[in-house]
Amino acid sequence: MDTQAILILLGSFAVLIVGGIHIAYAMIGSAILTILFSKISLIVVVTTLIDGINGFTFLAIPFFVLAGEIMAQGGISDRLIKLSNALVGWMRGGLAMVNIVASVFFGGISGSATADTASLGSILIPMMKKNGYDVEFSTAVTMASSIEGLLIPPSHNMIIYAMAAGGLSIGKLFLGGLVPGLFLALSLMIFSLFISIRRKYPKGDPFSIKEVLISFKESIWALMTVLIVIFGVISGVFTATESAAIATLWAFFVTFFVYKEIRIQAFGGILKKALRVLANILILIAAAGTFGFVVAYLQIPTFISQAILGLTTNKIAILLLVNLVLLMLGMIMGMASIIVIMTPILLPIVTQLGVDPIQFGAIMILNCGIGLITPPVGGVLFVGSGISGVKIERLTKEMLPFYLVLLIVLLVVTFVPQVTMFFPNLIM
């Protein structure tokens, strides 16, 4: 093992990211330095960058991002909120429940916690405030529930994980995320109900089956996007990439020819927004190809695995440690970066302990999701603060009990494999 090369790789990477270099370029830069030190031909930088992104499955990522952007701007939020209101608005703290359930639907479509918070939050936070909810609570529940969408299929982060893990079944991963996502929603609903009773938040209109049917009829076009992907992939009719392409065309059709709330001229702007998101994600995936090559060349996963397993073989202790590492990274790094960097390092360790890679996918995504709403670097936290006008410090204080709920859910997902593995084992 070349200890000097490992120190150069990890040392330069740490200096570059802490110094504020873009993470993808910090990965490429540190890899270049290590390659030069190891006297390998620099041509591998090019070949590994191309190999990093050169996969048919990766095509699903831009498609899901575009489909999510089209739906998010095409009037879907109002319809999903109306459907959620008809389903759970009658409960105590009805609008908080609506917020959580709408995130299940919306997150399924967009797969992005930031888009979820921005789209639903801009409608629901003012609505909740008007109905007597504290603005801090309204924002906190919007942000916490936005994580559901990362787990509920389809999720482009699951695809990034699948590829970082060396090519897992996307169908199994999608199914694996379903129960943890719904369990998270249920946990947040129970907690919000408890808070709503204590703070005497209002109930919504009484339950009406007629209202449910009407709002379902209005939303079914949008919900079909999710159904195309889930059933397409699980039944084997489509691959993940194919289903994503069809979902994009469907989203385009529904938005511009069924709902017609925005004009076709707006499509250029939607494409531009999708490109901005992709500018971040795709280069990270390519960079992970180069960084991953050097990491594998230097046998770093084996080294870390031996170091941790040499310290303890206690499964509970190691899984707690893994969660702690991911949570701490989540506080300072973005989701896609953590997935592409940490999956090749941590997956071999947890699989040695008998954790299924599908289950670890749910653990990884949930950890990174929590990172999105924790300071100092939480993308969703910034969006929530921006929409509600509540300062990050006040939001973080209101979020404290929500963090506790999320950690309980994380522990359940980590230590009860059946929560994740039930559907994949049953169906596939």
Contact footprint for another protein (CB under 8 A): 16-26, 28-29, 32, 42-43, 45-47, 49-50, 53-56, 58-59, 62-63, 66, 237-238, 241-242, 244-246, 248-249, 268, 271-272, 274-276, 278-280, 282-286, 332-334, 336-337, 376-377
Output 55 or 301, the one with its CB closest to another protein.
Answer: 55
Shortest reach from residue 72's CB to another protein, in Å: 17
Helix runs in 200-266, H state only? 209-235, 240-253
Shortest reach from residue 271's CB to another protein, in Å: 5
Output 240 or 318, the one with its CB closest to another protein.
Answer: 240
Output 133 or 293, the one with its CB closest to another protein.
Answer: 293
Output 392 or 412, the one with its CB closest to another protein.
Answer: 392
DSSP 207: P
CA distance 343 to 65: 22
CA distance 32 to 41: 10
Output 282 or 421, the one with its CB closest to another protein.
Answer: 282
Shortest reach from residue 424's CB to another protein, in Å: 24
Least Cα distance to 379 among 114, 110, 69 occurs for: 114
- Taking CA atoms, 403 is separated from 70, 170, 234, 322, in Å, by 31, 29, 33, 18
Shortest reach from residue 285's CB to another protein, in Å: 7
Output 15 or 197, the one with its CB closest to another protein.
Answer: 15
- Taking CA atoms, 215 is separated from 80, 84, 85, 86, 204, in Å, by 8, 9, 9, 7, 16
Shortest reach from residue 112's CB to another protein, in Å: 14
- Taking CA atoms, 372 is separated from 330, 368, 382, 390, in Å, by 7, 7, 9, 17
Shortest reach from residue 298's CB to another protein, in Å: 20
Q: Report residue 236: phi and psi, to 5°.
A: 85, 5
Least Cα distance to 144 among 338, 330, 370 occurs for: 370
Output 228 or 349, the one with its CB closest to another protein.
Answer: 228
Helix runs in 155-299, H state only? 156-164, 170-199, 209-235, 240-253, 267-297
Helix runs in 54-134, H state only? 60-73, 76-88, 94-110, 113-130
Shortest reach from residue 159's CB to another protein, in Å: 13
Output 21 or 345, the one with its CB closest to another protein.
Answer: 21
Shortest reach from residue 290's CB to another protein, in Å: 11
Name the β-bridge partners of 92.
203
